[in-house]
Amino acid sequence: MMFSRAEKTPLAEWWWSIDRELLGALILLMTCGMVLSFAASPPVAERIGLSPWFFVIRHALFCLAALPVMIAASFLNHRQARFWALGTLIVSVALLWATLKFGTEVKGARRWVSFMGQSIQPSEFVKPAFAVLGAWLFSESMVLRNVPGKIIATVIAFTIVAGLLLQPDIGQTALILATWAALMFVSGISWWIIFGMAGAGGGLLFGAYIFFPHFSKRVDTFLNPEGGGNTYQIDRALQSLLEGGWFGRGPGESEAKKLIPDAHADYVFSAAAGEFGILFCMVLVGLICFIVIRAMLGAQRQTSLFARLAASTLAIQFAMQSGINLAVNLNLIPPKGMTLPFVSYGGTSMIAIAFGMGLMLALTRSKPEERLTTGIPVYRSALAPAE
């Protein structure tokens, strides 16, 4: 026991109200990412002429920065969470559009802006901020019928999508649209609207295939690997998955892993399979599933409609990003350039996910009255006095 329940300090209140199992699982996932960085990063660094420990050191620094961000965000109350989400969304959307003019072009896309010598991908911060702000707007429209929250959230979503498509970034576009769809789903809509949204999503994918050559090339290569497209990376990733077997070849022993260009980033799961085996990968997937399920259960215990929607949407967003990365590694969908949360290398992604998970922890914290009583959830407007 770190603190007595009788203590009334902010730290003691935080300790007894936070979901400690969920917090521990997130820290454990971050630790797994650090271990896999030791296994996957050195060959990548050596191949491009850097010190073998270049990416390992940077990954460790990202983790050291991400952990306090997550802890600090978990201290926020609901009003503060909305405030930080709003501020983050305004800044990140402005930077998102700024990348179109001032961003660094990489492989034909402008997704990064440079700040103090560091590259930042604004779309990473857009995702958790939109999930929380969108949940607020949806909850307001459900409690106060004269508030057009769903319409405002939809306008914001498509403003973000427009900027992402102009970069272009199809993967993040799909995730923002999926986040918006998740908000619609958890707020309660008819199945007809769900089917309509699914049809619209299919139409958008078809439009992306028609108008974005790099996306259509990836899809064509995925559907017809023998057609002359570049499948080197996914071939090496699949080779690493098969090479490891159930128990892996041991740290540093996987040969296929050494040939994957992005073994430290998008394909760290495949590199993990080669080193530590399929059983380790199943444990890693199990840990991700535990985080999502635990967060969803915590969200359903909240009496605030806003907290229920926001925490649920953040958990779904975390699950979708993880699922996309794993599906790419298993060659189930075309490559998307999506990181595996807390595991893949990437500073912007690490900090943004830590911010989102910190908000999720804050929104699933229990209150004294919730620990002592049970009953029908009480829905109230976020414009009411502070919770």
State the Cα angle at 184 between 179 and 189, rounded to 5°.
155
User: Could you report the per-residue pLDDT of 258-316, keeping only the tens digit for each?
Assistant: 888 888 888 999 989 988 999 999 999 999 999 999 999 999 999 899 999 999 999 99
What does pLDDT average to over the chain?
A: 85
3-state secondary structure of 55: helix
Among 24-28, 169-173, 230-234, 320-324, the range scoring the smallest mean pLDDT is: 230-234
Q: Do residues 21 and 28 touch, judged by C-beta distance below 8 A?
A: no
Is pLDDT of 104 > 90? no
**Which among 52, 84, 82 has a CA at the least distance from the CA of 69?**
84
Q: Mean pLDDT across the stretch 198-214?
A: 74
**pTM of this structure:** 0.89
How many other C-beta atoms lie within 10 A of the C-beta of residue 317?
Answer: 25
Is pLDDT of 378 > 50? no
**Which among 310, 309, 315 has a CA at the least distance from the CA of 295?**
315
User: Could you report the per-residue pLDDT of 303-361, keeping only the tens digit for each?
Assistant: 899 999 999 999 999 999 999 999 999 988 888 778 999 999 988 999 999 999 999 99
As given in the structure block, the two tokens for residue 37 are: 């960085």
Output the pLDDT for position 385.
44
Residue 145 has what DSSP assignment?
Answer: T
Which residues does 383 contact at the CB level (< 8 Å), separation at least 6? 140, 144
Output the pLDDT for position 108.
64
Helix (H) or strand (E) holding 106, with range, is strand 104-106
Is pLDDT of 22 > 80? yes
Highest mean pLDDT among 67-71, 116-120, 153-157: 67-71
Residue 256 has what DSSP assignment?
Answer: S
Burial class (CB in 10 A: 0-12, 13-18, 19+), 386: exposed
